[in-house]
Structure 1
């Protein structure tokens, strides 16, 4: 039996010296990484030799690293021995050694020893993050040892510790192994239908197919309610074809409200598949009693009518909802959809009226803030005297909305005509409360161009709209003791070359806590070192949430550079220079387009750092004389930058170097922007940017503009 057990659990608590507070010797990190990479006997012997020359926690870490290398090399018996010895000299990572010890024993098929190691693990580390996985391994070892009843008891009591689909799947396997095929069918189905996107669902499906063949006519039908649940999950996950088929299968055994739900939502799935005419005819034939489901059916018929250009019916369906289901969310959706339709048709009065009805009828609805903003903006473009009051109302009603800062900014623009002091007060408030928002930067620009007396924002009499703004996220300047311990574990694992384990450890940190940005910085550093800059950026956005409202000086420069990284900087500058493009503008664009992921591919098929469509790439490559170009070359960073900067410069020239037009065209296409430019008599580019009808493109333009300013501040001269 290959396992070393501590004589008593309390010995673990007395081990000294502790790992905390020590620096890893450079040689330990180098030797560990070498063995993990090569898994060779030479590197193994060098690491063991280092361990033998070391003492205390350094020795324990070296043996732990040797165990991880042994395990990777499938030398499970040696690994278990190294983990057992290492555990006695570790503190922060002792539960790692204990878990990998029991896992190695199980992989070595020494299941009796693995069961004993698992029991020791649960005694020493009852709150370890590995508890669920340890229970899973223990259950499998018990099963392999023929102790099915013990395995079942363990699994049945582990619903809080283990991922539920995994736990249910292992219970199903036990039932199957016990020779109970009908019970096994139900057990596998519980995984397949309730957790359709889990790995265990695929395995369960394979077992169900085998059992179907074995049982033949005795194979039972699946519970219709389970089919309905699976269909709903598929619909939510946008797996529309699969959802539609599952709804069809479910209807045969359903009745009442559940049957109606399946019937209507089948129509939803088919509508989302763009089966418009089929869905239109199908939904019109349905007779639905449930009010909410019938409202959804009517709304979908209206949407089909819009696609089929039956605009009168599109409107009539909304009015029917107004009369029959006036409080339904589907009525709200219908009104907002009509507003959007007429906005794109440049029927501004009709569009504004539908948006107004949306906001007034459903002031707390899903579309309320967006609809109200559309009303505000239309009033501004129409030079309506009510525009200011509407903007103020917007901030009061929706202070947490993304459009609230915009309302304050445009109030300031209106105020400039009457009182530069009041306008300045609003602009100063924006720069203080929303320093890195698009509107915060616009406000800074306006302040540079208006003459105002010196104002103290803290002592000034603030307009009511500035007294109801949400607070800035509070973050701590130093990590807590708990977070410091987490960071130490993550950094230690990373230094040893255990990159995946380091990242997994750090990601256990709670991003809601005030000191979570420190976890984000460490994660970003580790991901970026692996060339996965996009994942590092996503971790910073998660753990550093609220950063757009933080002042630069409130956080270290490293925090901002991880949020606004500039990998491929040398190539980026080199490719921008010939076209006289601001490299910080291109960096800002890439951050928005691909998050610096050279392998990015959009739903439309755009590829690479600068998200170039293959056809566009081929055309540009031909013009630049690039021979042998293939679409896959767009994933090469320098190729993407070469083609992307050329294309951007061409679009920039087409729109006379007006950045708002250029960015909108790069995102939505030149022809659309040429059309949007004719919609209004814009006084400046800011009005155009605000009027862009596509939410994605409007946000894109504003974000790239904002990001450019931040990049200039961090890496160049602020402008």
Structure 2
């Protein structure tokens, strides 16, 4: 529902603020700001519980943090309400506004009123009342209301409230009680990632109680080298202060654990300081682990020539220790960084010495891959064959393909066919089976046996939506994508109206509280109704109304596996694929695709793979928004599109993300003469790498280029985007030749 603020303000409340041009979507409520040709701001809001324009305007003001205007409107609405549900919503909204304005006493008053009107949702109000008391530093009252909130054991914030209770007890001085709650939290899987934080607070409590040794134990336990970086470092710093206060050095055990944590979290300077301190305190005591970390730090800094002799010395200290395998593996990695030939020798040595190591198979695979890149195809095939025999892992599955592909690249197509057909006699996952079968057909094609190759391609194409390979096969046979009749397309209906009371309540919870609280309810709904298409359609509509498109698509992905067998034969299967491959942000995508002369389906495919249409997502590498653009790339693209005053948070704006991402796609397609494969690979890994792969492997055959992509992530990415591109072409419009 789109509501013109200019129209509504003139109709309902003159002179209320319209959205400013530099307003941006808030995490609590999903909104989208556009500018019309008349420079009139329009607000699209997905979380309007009533169709009342007045309520919509009030909610829009709340979303834009125009709290005074929102309050004014809610008070107007309050005069016309006549049922407890609406009274609950209004009082809860008003309470949330006062909470945002830090008027906590007033917030508590209205939260309490909401409890009287809808006791079923009282635990939500209790949770926020407790938060308000926390802000007022009324810890005892906060503890009381957190306890009330946790009376509903399966509520979404049960354990969050337990954390708050532990902190409240800490503030009230009941340190023993606080530690008991923290210890109970340490036993729950939900909070395994926060264990360093809880140990830190336990340590603080023990220190305050005068239990120095127990505090040291807690801080030591809180030093974790895999997760919880912030509190691991806090535990380390606090433990260091305790030791310094008594002029005590760390114990050997403490220092070694600290060094491991510092190395794993990239704190190389501090780790080096602790290593040097260890050497000073124990000059005659050689420690293999200390030497390993010293070498590893140098390797992380890409100083491999310095790292290797230190690592070899560490290995000689105790060749049969549990750490020896990791030292040998680091030697192999550093050797490979300096020379492929040396890398082969060291990886083989590692796999021979430690055949049962979790990284042994990966090391052997690396050897095979090096041989393949160096065009030693017989050696590569031999290595991959050995891996294929010994395991059913993903590496082994990939090795079954690369064994045959090594012969294919040597142009020994008959041998390639023989290898792949041998592996196809075993039970393989659907994707791997289609991959090998596709390349058997390609090999027969190379041998000039067209009837055999066509027969195999036809077999794969019989379930065209299974994979990249099945859609490729269909196009090879028919010269176009599968067609779906207009009547079938017209028969698919997806409801945007929600009439399920449970879902309406979940949406309300999401709007009034926190996003994850409503999602908790929606997850339960999915578990109970996953086999009911009508209910699932309503659930998808609910996620869409909340702007949570990623969850809607994940439902489609699951349904595709459960209900569809690689074909679209009826309205139900087409409905499933449209949930899986939706057209969210259609106006932005089609607009900028037209400007950049792109197929909009390609932009849909990129966005689906990059972000699942989630505007606010940030990758581990720092890429942002729908099209996952890095900051430095965003600045460059903003300059080339004459978008002045670029700010990093703009990348979370759907319109800007699609504008810049589409422009980047156009640059890449121009660079690679409109060839999708290297352009898509470049979007994931950078254009310099696609150029390098073309130079190394050639581009005479597009399917070969995809299989030659060095990074498995990029290889999978290209296949996934192309599959999405083709499916979008099929299910949303009449497809032509590709």
Shorter-chain-normalised TM-score: which range? Answer: 0.7 to 0.9
Candidates 366, 370, 388, aligned match of 1:341: 370
CA contact under 8 A between 2:166 and 2:181: conserved in structure 1?
yes
Q: Which residue of 2 aligns with 1:175?
A: 206
What SS does the corresponding residue of 1:221 show, helix, strand or coil? Answer: coil
Q: Could you give the per-residue CA deviations for residues 300-323 of structure 1, whole angstroms, max 9, x where no partner exists?
A: 323322322272x44443454465
Q: How many residues align?
A: 646
What SS does the corresponding residue of 2:401 show, helix, strand or coil? Answer: helix
Q: After superposing the two structures, state which structure 1 stretch, 22-31 or 156-165, moved more.
A: 22-31
What SS does the corresponding residue of 2:247 show, helix, strand or coil? Answer: helix
- What is the CA distance between 1:435 and its match in structure 2? 1.4
**2-structure distance, mates of 1:422, 1:177:** 77
What SS does the corresponding residue of 2:465 show, helix, strand or coil? Answer: coil
1:409 aligns with 2:438: yes
After superposition, where does 1:121-160 map in structure 2 within 5 Å? 121-122=149-150, 124-160=151-187
In structure 2, do the counterparts of structure 1 residues 91 and 429 end up closer, same or farther at CA, with 3 Å as the change threshold? farther
- What is the CA distance between 1:606 and its match in structure 2? 8.1
1:187 aligns with 2:200: no
Candidates 466, 481, 500, aligned match of 2:515: 500
TM-score with structure 1 length normalisation? 0.73
1:217 aligns with 2:247: yes
**2-structure distance, mates of 1:662, 1:153:** 57
**2-structure distance, mates of 1:699, 1:129:** 36
Q: Which residue of 2 aligns with 1:386?
A: 415
In structure 2, do the counterparts of structure 1 residues 395 and 230 end up closer, same or farther at CA, with 3 Å as the change threshold? farther
**1-structure distance, mates of 2:128, 2:616:** 33
Structure 2: where are the runs of 5+ without partners?
Answer: 1-47, 481-493
What SS does the corresponding residue of 1:125 show, helix, strand or coil? Answer: coil
Q: Which residue of 2 aligns with 1:650?
A: 670
In structure 2, do the counterparts of structure 1 residues 190 and 677 end up closer, same or farther at CA, with 3 Å as the change threshold? closer
CA contact under 8 A between 2:434 and 2:460: conserved in structure 1?
no
**2-structure distance, mates of 1:116, 1:675:** 64
Candidates 688, 695, 701, aligned match of 2:718: 701
What SS does the corresponding residue of 1:581 show, helix, strand or coil? Answer: coil
In structure 2, do the counterparts of structure 1 residues 322 and 377 end up closer, same or farther at CA, with 3 Å as the change threshold? same
- What is the CA distance between 1:373 and its match in structure 2? 1.3
- What is the CA distance between 1:282 and its match in structure 2? 1.1
Q: Could you give the per-residue CA deviations for residues 202-241 of structure 1, whole angstroms, max 9, x where no partner exists?
A: 654565566566x2415x6267268538836963xx7474
Q: Could you give the per-residue CA deviations for residues 259-288 of structure 1, whole angstroms, max 9, x where no partner exists?
A: 645644654454344221122111121223
TM-score with structure 2 length normalisation? 0.71
Structure 1: where are the runs of 5+ without partners?
Answer: 1-21, 451-476, 479-483, 529-534
Q: Could you give the per-residue CA deviations for residues 524-573 of structure 1, whole angstroms, max 9, x where no partner exists?
A: 52564xxxxxx743773488347478455576877655644555644544
Candidates 278, 282, 300, aligned match of 2:306: 278
Q: Which residue of 2 aligns with 1:465?
A: none
CA contact under 8 A between 1:332 and 1:365: conserved in structure 2?
no
In structure 2, do the counterparts of structure 1 residues 97 and 48 end up closer, same or farther at CA, with 3 Å as the change threshold? farther
1:435 aligns with 2:465: yes
In structure 2, do the counterparts of structure 1 residues 247 and 509 end up closer, same or farther at CA, with 3 Å as the change threshold? farther
CA contact under 8 A between 2:223 and 2:235: conserved in structure 1?
yes
Candidates 320, 343, 346, aligned match of 1:290: 320
After superposition, where does 1:458-497 map in structure 2 within 5 Å? 487-496=503-512
What SS does the corresponding residue of 2:414 show, helix, strand or coil? Answer: coil
Q: Could you give the per-residue CA deviations for residues 661-705 of structure 1, whole angstroms, max 9, x where no partner exists?
A: 554566566676567557779874333433444434433332232
1:86 aligns with 2:117: no
Q: Which residue of 2 aligns with 1:637?
A: 657
What SS does the corresponding residue of 1:217 show, helix, strand or coil? Answer: coil
Q: Which residue of 1 aligns with 2:135?
A: 107
CA contact under 8 A between 2:626 and 2:658: conserved in structure 1?
no
- What is the CA distance between 1:438 and its match in structure 2? 0.6
In structure 2, do the counterparts of structure 1 residues 413 and 101 end up closer, same or farther at CA, with 3 Å as the change threshold? same
**2-structure distance, mates of 1:672, 1:34:** 47
CA contact under 8 A between 2:441 and 2:452: conserved in structure 1?
no
Q: Which residue of 1 aligns with 2:599?
A: 582
Q: Could you give the per-residue CA deviations for residues 457-485 of structure 1, whole angstroms, max 9, x where no partner exists?
A: xxxxxxxxxxxxxxxxxxxx99xxxxx78
What SS does the corresponding residue of 1:104 show, helix, strand or coil? Answer: helix
**2-structure distance, mates of 1:505, 1:139:** 23
- What is the CA distance between 1:134 and its match in structure 2? 2.2
Q: Could you give the per-residue CA deviations for residues 376-398 of structure 1, whole angstroms, max 9, x where no partner exists?
A: 22233424323334223434556
1:304 aligns with 2:334: yes
Q: Could you give the per-residue CA deviations for residues 3-37 of structure 1, whole angstroms, max 9, x where no partner exists?
A: xxxxxxxxxxxxxxxxxxx9756455654564575
- What is the CA distance between 1:441 and its match in structure 2? 0.7
1:231 aligns with 2:260: yes
In structure 2, do the counterparts of structure 1 residues 435 and 514 end up closer, same or farther at CA, with 3 Å as the change threshold? farther
Q: Which residue of 2 aligns with 1:3?
A: none
- What is the CA distance between 1:96 and its match in structure 2? 0.8
CA contact under 8 A between 1:369 and 1:401: conserved in structure 2?
no
**2-structure distance, mates of 1:512, 1:489:** 17
In structure 2, do the counterparts of structure 1 residues 228 and 377 end up closer, same or farther at CA, with 3 Å as the change threshold? same
Candidates 664, 672, 687, aligned match of 2:704: 687
CA contact under 8 A between 2:622 and 2:630: conserved in structure 1?
yes
